[in-house]
Amino acid sequence: GISKDTEVSVNLSSQVDEFIDLVKGGEYLKAVEYYEGKLYGNYQYESEASDGIEALLKNLNREILNGQKSESDSKKITGAVDNVLSKTNINIADYDVLKANINGSIASKAAFLAGKELEGLEKYVDAIEEYAAVIESDSDYAEAKSAIDRCVQTAKKDVLATAKAFV
């Protein structure tokens, strides 16, 4: 997996940088037009474009895990990448794995938020299930693990208090 702390950087020509900025901005139609007009047919640019998109996806995953990118921002970027890849000859070797990692990171963040909400509603067992879905590379992992302990202790106390009421 990708470390949540390490930014992936690649040296790109200014032309390819401009292309990546269009993709990052979700402007896939402009990105495809730019690629076809200025990059396609130049092996170095085509190779850099592939490397640049791969780095963009790895960095996006890192930013999600660190809480720096929202789900909607992430979907905009991955949607643009999907469209660019479907309309150009760009090939990313582990694209399916990169995309699965991004989706897993988004799910992890959502699980953490759901856990916090359920804990606040005193639905401790449900909260534990959500907190348990937080992945180890998520910046909220340590907090989720301590929240599980807290929910377990609170749920135990609640069960004991309920049981004592019937004794």
Residue 107: which of 79, 140, 80 has the closest Cα? 140
Contacts by 158-166 with C-beta closer than 8 Å and gap 24+? 158/122, 158/124
CB 38 within 8 A of CB 98: no
**Residues 34-66: tens digit of each pLDDT:** 999 999 999 999 999 999 999 999 999 999 999
Band of the pLDDT at 2, cuts 50, 70, 90? Answer: very low
Q: Residue 12's pLDDT is what? A: 87
Query: Which residue type occupies 95?
Result: Y
pTM: 0.87
Instruction: Compute the distance between CA of residue 65 and CA of residue 52 in angstroms, rounded to an integer.
Output: 20
Question: For 128-139, what is the mean pLDDT?
Answer: 97
What pLDDT is stored for residue 11 in this prediction?
86
- Tens of pLDDT, residue by residue over 93-119, are 999 999 999 999 999 999 999 999 999
Task: Yes or no: say if 64 and 105 are a contact pair by the CB < 8 Å rule.
Answer: yes
Q: CA-CA distance, 4 to 136, in Å (whole number)?
A: 10
